[in-house]
């Protein structure tokens, strides 16, 4: 059987959420599709970043696998990948990130990571909402099977897009525990040691992630509880960044609010490992992988009591109401001030992480592909 996989996001150098999902799933599928021919489709990237036997990240691909570069600078999926499906069809096509090409095999499987743009339209630009609505609705119609990354996302697909329940398979994401053992001679190590103690957020600096709520909660923690911590915001700017930046620079505590910009995977874990509390009070998440990443290095988490967060966090996190900064602040302070509560959350977090692995995720996806 010939299996095609859209690897266009996995080949990107600076991977974030969906890109990391694509990379990790493909990496862990390598030993699970024995006996099948696999084609990884990617965009036109520099030759030194890949060849027929090397995947970015030094991942060796086995015999029977190959990388196929599709040279389409615009509309890569709907024109480039569609043409490839027409000219050289496959038996099964796997799309790890939302968008199914208009020309596709009957056996097409797509992963839907969330419908946040439907739940929180004001956190996206008009064109972002339009593109995602059209492409994801179409993908849901065209795909034979849909992978939802959480039960919450499955419910959203059924309620908002009327997708039949038997068409959806819930397969949880994993967490990369290998990264913690990598030798880290990175700038982020020295940065992390430069502003201890600190509270940390990692992710895109945008409205949906509730960064404004975090900054307001930080002000409450300073004034109500007199904490000595800095606040570190690590990640690329996203939609609504201008107003977030204005709030940060207008704060009386602006000198203690640090932005790192994009950080490498190693840098991310260095920052996580050295944080006192990880703040993730997002307004809506399809899954919420950063919660697990923090727990995997023994950092207690404050996260939202809505969307997929209770499903991912269980009883191993401190919950807050994301629309109420005082709730975020109180949950964070309890972790800072109550050692017994903090130690219990850390212990539960380490156990919670064991439920999620990329190997298990890929194993379940491989069963669908085969």
What is the token pair recorded at 232? 């570190």
User: Same domain, yes or no, for 129 and 91?
Assistant: yes
Q: What pLDDT score was predicted for residue 196?
A: 77
Q: What pLDDT score was predicted for residue 264?
A: 84
At a CB cut-off of 8 Å and minimum separation 6, what does 332 contact? 199, 217, 221, 277, 279, 302, 318
User: Same domain, yes or no, for 329 and 269?
Assistant: yes
Would you write out the chain's pLDDT as a tens digit for each of its 370 residues? 999 999 998 877 767 778 889 999 999 999 999 889 999 999 865 544 444 455 555 567 788 899 999 988 788 999 999 999 999 999 999 999 999 999 999 999 999 999 999 999 988 999 999 999 999 999 999 999 999 999 999 999 999 999 999 999 999 999 976 554 444 444 445 455 566 799 999 999 999 999 999 999 999 999 999 999 999 999 999 999 999 999 999 999 999 999 999 888 888 898 999 999 999 999 999 999 999 999 999 999 999 999 999 999 999 999 999 999 999 999 999 999 999 999 999 999 999 999 999 999 999 999 999 9
User: Same domain, yes or no, for 301 and 363?
Assistant: no
User: Same domain, yes or no, for 152 and 243?
Assistant: no
User: Same domain, yes or no, for 167 and 145?
Assistant: yes
Q: What pLDDT score was predicted for residue 191?
A: 54
User: Same domain, yes or no, for 74 and 154?
Assistant: yes
Q: What letters, b where the CB count within 10 A reaches 16 and e where it falls short, cover 140-172?
A: bebbebbbbbbebbbebbeeebebeeeebbebb
For residue 197, cis peptide bond before it (omega within 30 degrees of 0): yes
DSSP letter at 187 equals: H
Distance CA 172, CA 156 (A): 16
User: Same domain, yes or no, for 128 and 53?
Assistant: yes
CATH number at residue 203: 3.40.50.2000
- The residue segments making up the domain with residue 305 are 178-353
User: Same domain, yes or no, for 45 and 81?
Assistant: yes
Q: Give the angle subtended at the CA of 131 by the CAs of 140 and 166, to the nearest 5°.
A: 10
Q: What pLDDT score was predicted for residue 116?
A: 94
User: Same domain, yes or no, for 214 and 347?
Assistant: yes
Answer for the pair 303, 319: CB distance below 8 angstroms, yes or no.
yes
User: Same domain, yes or no, for 60 and 202?
Assistant: no
User: Same domain, yes or no, for 220 and 119?
Assistant: no
User: Same domain, yes or no, for 201 and 98?
Assistant: no
User: Per the structure, how many domains does the chain have?
Assistant: 2
pTM of the model: 0.89
Helix, strand, or coil (residue 36)? coil
Answer for the pair 208, 282: CB distance below 8 angstroms, yes or no.
yes
Distance CA 173, CA 259 (A): 27
Q: For strands 54-55 and 59-60, give the pairing.
A: antiparallel
Distance CA 39, CA 30 (A): 12
């Amino acid at each position: 059987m010939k299996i095609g996989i859209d690897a266009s996001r996995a080949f990107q150098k600076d991977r974030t959420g969906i890109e990391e999902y694509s990379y990790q799933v493909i990496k862990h599928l390598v030993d699970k599709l024995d006996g099948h021919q696999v084609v990884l489709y990617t965009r036109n990237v520099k030759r030194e970043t890949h060849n027929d036997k090397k995947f970015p990240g030094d991942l060796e691909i086995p015999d029977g696998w190959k990388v196929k570069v599709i040279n389409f600078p615009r509309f890569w999926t709907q024109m480039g990948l569609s043409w490839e499906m027409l000219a050289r069809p496959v038996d099964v096509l796997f799309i790890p990130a939302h968008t199914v090409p208009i020309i596709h095999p009957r056996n097409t499987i797509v992963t839907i990571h969330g419908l946040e743009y439907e739940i929180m339209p004001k956190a996206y630009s008009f064109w972002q909402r339009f593109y995602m609505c059209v492409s994801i609705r179409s993908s849901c119609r065209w795909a034979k099977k849909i992978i939802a990354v959480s039960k919450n996302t499955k419910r959203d697909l059924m309620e908002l897009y009327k997708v039949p329940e038997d068409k959806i398979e819930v397969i949880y994401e994993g967490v990369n525990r290998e990264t913690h053992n990598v030798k880290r001679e990175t700038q982020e190590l020295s940065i992390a040691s430069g502003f201890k103690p600190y509270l940390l957020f990692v992710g895109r600096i945008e409205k949906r992630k509730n960064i404004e709520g975090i900054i307001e909660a930080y002000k409450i923690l300073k004034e109500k509880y007199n904490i000595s911590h800095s606040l570190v915001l690590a990640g690329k700017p996203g939609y609504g960044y201008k107003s977030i930046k204005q709030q940060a620079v207008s704060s009386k505590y602006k000198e203690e609010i640090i932005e790192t910009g994009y950080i490498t995977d190693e840098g991310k874990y260095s920052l996580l490992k050295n944080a006192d509390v990880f703040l993730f009070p997002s307004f809506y998440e399809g899954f919420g992988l950063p919660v697990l990443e923090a727990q995997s290095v023994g950092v207690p988490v404050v996260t939202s009591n809505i969307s997929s967060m209770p499903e991912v966090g269980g009883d191993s996190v401190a919950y807050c109401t994301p629309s109420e900064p005082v709730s975020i602040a109180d949950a964070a302070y309890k972790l800072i001030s109550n050692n017994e509560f903090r130690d219990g959350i850390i212990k539960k977090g380490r156990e919670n992480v064991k439920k999620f692995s990329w190997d298990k995720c890929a194993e379940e996806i491989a069963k669908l592909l085969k």
